[in-house]
């Protein structure tokens, strides 16, 4: 079990480059199945979700060759259409492989990915969208068997703008003759980046970033060399790290427009936020003002992935904050751990009411999911005394060397295996 220890109270200062986006890279790794030509992904961060996705490709007969922070992926010798069970259950993003496997091989089998710590995570929208493209799907004994022999372009109207379902259906349609239209689709920046990635391989996707995407099928895709977008959630997390430590931090390789909902709240909290094309500087006040109301929403609303880090920030802000989690049904596992550090929070259904306190105190706490773990690190940075965060391996799923990067900004933080 991995553990992070923080002696809180240090002010963060300096500059930090933001790594590329986990939630853009994961569907791109699946998208490599759309071509038998080599694909090179650049600036790939060292995080476990990405390593697990690479391992799935390797187990299916593909070659995944790291070269520094570049990774060359060659799926020409793929030898199966079934996603290995234990890996599919270890990483939910394996569900993104359904679409590309159907496009490439007209067949795909995957185990039901099951729920996780933040919710049931159903995949009904993925499956109904593929059925709209005439994919025959049989759900039996915990497996999903897909037959795409009679797949054809069509219109998919999503009941909810699901990020994963949008990406899966988009990739399923790339090699389908004719025009596929996805209506009421997700508009996240990661969707735009995935479309850019596929178009760089010769795909014809239009409308990404709006609520309607069209895909004109092509006969085949060629290879590409691609650098994914910066990770907006990692960027937002480090912006909040500056805010909670009275810090003065500049984030480079950052895209302000991707997290404008958060930056607006940081300004309201009393932070000075200065943005240029690809940098964000956050200078924090001595005491943050509470943000009265935050509701997570699909993009461009406040991102659900920053709910936990932002809630940690509200625990030491001056006033009352009401935070509503509209996207996932059980995404408050971090609250009980923050209360152990002296936070005053009550949760009712999907709403957390936070009464800000002047300071938290260090404690031994347990990470229970990726973003909740990051929230505990942020709380530890500001708490008086020592905080020990158990199960820190959750954080490694989506943050590259988090403790090393925070130490470079002045945090008193270390990791023990
Ligand atoms: C993606 O998950 C992200 N993961 C999540 O980031 C992110 O929180 C989420 O989008 C929302 O932005 C990746 O991109 C790898 P959804 P995804 O489908 O695609 C319900 C992180 O911390 N739903 O938009 O699974 C679902 O239960 C992770 O980096 C259905 O009901 O999100 C949820 O309530 C966590 N049926 C809501 O939609 C479906 O078929 C949003 O899910 C699919 C989803």
Torsions phi, psi for 403 (to 5 deg): -70, -30
Which pTM does this prediction carry? Answer: 0.97
pLDDT in tens, 33-45: 999 999 999 999 9
| Region(s) of the chain under CATH 3.65.10.10 | 3-17+230-416, 25-223
Atom of ligand 1 nearest to the CA of 167: 19
Q: Which residues pair with 5 in a beta bridge?
A: 388, 414
Name the CATH code of domain 25-223 (choices 3.65.10.10, 3.30.70.1380, 3.10.150.10, 3.40.190.10): 3.65.10.10
The verdict on domain 3-17+230-416 having CATH code 3.40.309.10 is: no
Distance of alpha carbon 123 from alpha carbon 143, whole angstroms? 12
Taking the C-alpha atoms of residue 25 and residue 28, their distance in angstroms, rounded to an integer, is 5
Q: Which residues of the chain have pLDDT under 70?
A: 114-115
Catalytic residue status for 116: yes
pLDDT at 348 (0 to 100) = 95
Q: What is the pLDDT of residue 122?
A: 86
Cβ–Cβ contacts within 10 Å for residue 268, how many? 13
Pocket-forming residues, ligand 1, beta carbon under 6 Å? 22-23, 26, 93, 119, 121-126, 160, 162-165, 186, 304-305, 327-328, 370-371, 398
- What pLDDT does 198 receive? 98
Q: Which of 32, 46, 116, 146 is catalytic?
A: 116
d(CA 115, CA 134): 27
What per-residue confidence (pLDDT) applies to 387? 98
DSSP letters, 249-271, are EEEES--GGGGHHHHHHHHHTT-
8 Å CB contact between 188 and 298: yes
Whole-number pLDDT of residue 345: 98
What is the pairing mode between strands 293-295 and 320-324? parallel
- Pocket test of ligand 1: the residue of 19, 22, 23, 96 to mutate, having most ligand atoms within 8 Å of its CB, is 23
Q: What ligand 1 atom has the least distance to the C-alpha of 164?
A: 19
């Amino acid at each position: 079990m991995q553990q992070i220890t923080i002696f809180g109270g240090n002010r963060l200062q300096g500059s930090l480059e933001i790594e590329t986006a986990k939630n853009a890279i994961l569907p791109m790794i699946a998208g490599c199945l759309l071509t038998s030509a080599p694909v090179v992904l650049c600036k790939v961060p060292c995080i476990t979700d990405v390593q697990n996705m690479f391992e799935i490709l390797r187990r299916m007969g593909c070659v995944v060759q790291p070269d520094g922070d570049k990774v060359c992926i060659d799926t020409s010798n793929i030898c199966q259409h079934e996603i290995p069970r234990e890996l599919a259950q270890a990483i939910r993003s394996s569900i993104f492989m359904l679409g590309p496997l159907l496009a490439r091989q007209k067949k795909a089998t995957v185990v039901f990915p099951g729920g996780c710590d933040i919710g049931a995570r159903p995949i009904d929208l993925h499956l109904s969208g593929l059925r709209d493209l005439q994919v025959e799907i049989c759900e039996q004994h915990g497996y999903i068997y897909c037959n795409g022999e009679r797949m054809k372009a069509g219109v998919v109207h999503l009941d909810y703008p699901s990020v994963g379902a949008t990406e899966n259906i988009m990739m399923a349609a790339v090699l389908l003759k004719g025009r596929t239209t996805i209506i009421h689709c997700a508009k996240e920046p990661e969707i735009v980046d995935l479309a850019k990635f596929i178009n760089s391989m010769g795909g014809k996707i239009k409308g990404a970033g709006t609520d309607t995407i069209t895909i004109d099928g092509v006969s085949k895709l060629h290879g590409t060399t691609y650098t994914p977008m910066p990770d907006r959630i990692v960027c937002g997390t480090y912006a909040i790290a500056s805010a909670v430590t009275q810090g003065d931090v500049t984030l480079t390789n950052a895209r302000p427009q991707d997290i404008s909902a958060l930056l607006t709240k940081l300004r309201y909290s009393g932070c000075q936020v200065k943005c240029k094309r690809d940098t964000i500087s956050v200078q924090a006040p001595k005491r943050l003002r509470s943000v009265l109301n935050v509701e997570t929403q699909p993009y461009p609303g406040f991102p659900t992935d920053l709910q936990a880090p932002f809630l940690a920030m509200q625990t030491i802000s001056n006033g009352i904050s009401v935070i509503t989690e509209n996207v996932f049904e059980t995404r408050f596992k971090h609250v009980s751990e923050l209360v152990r550090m002296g936070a005053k929070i009550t949760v009712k259904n999907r709403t957390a009411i936070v009464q800000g306190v002047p300071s938290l105190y260090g404690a031994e706490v347990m990470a229970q999911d990726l973003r909740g773990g990051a929230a505990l690190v942020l709380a530890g940075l500001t708490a008086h005394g020592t905080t020990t965060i158990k199960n820190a391996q959750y954080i490694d799923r989506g943050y590259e060397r988090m403790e090393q990067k925070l130490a470079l900004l002045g945090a008193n933080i270390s990791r023990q295996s």
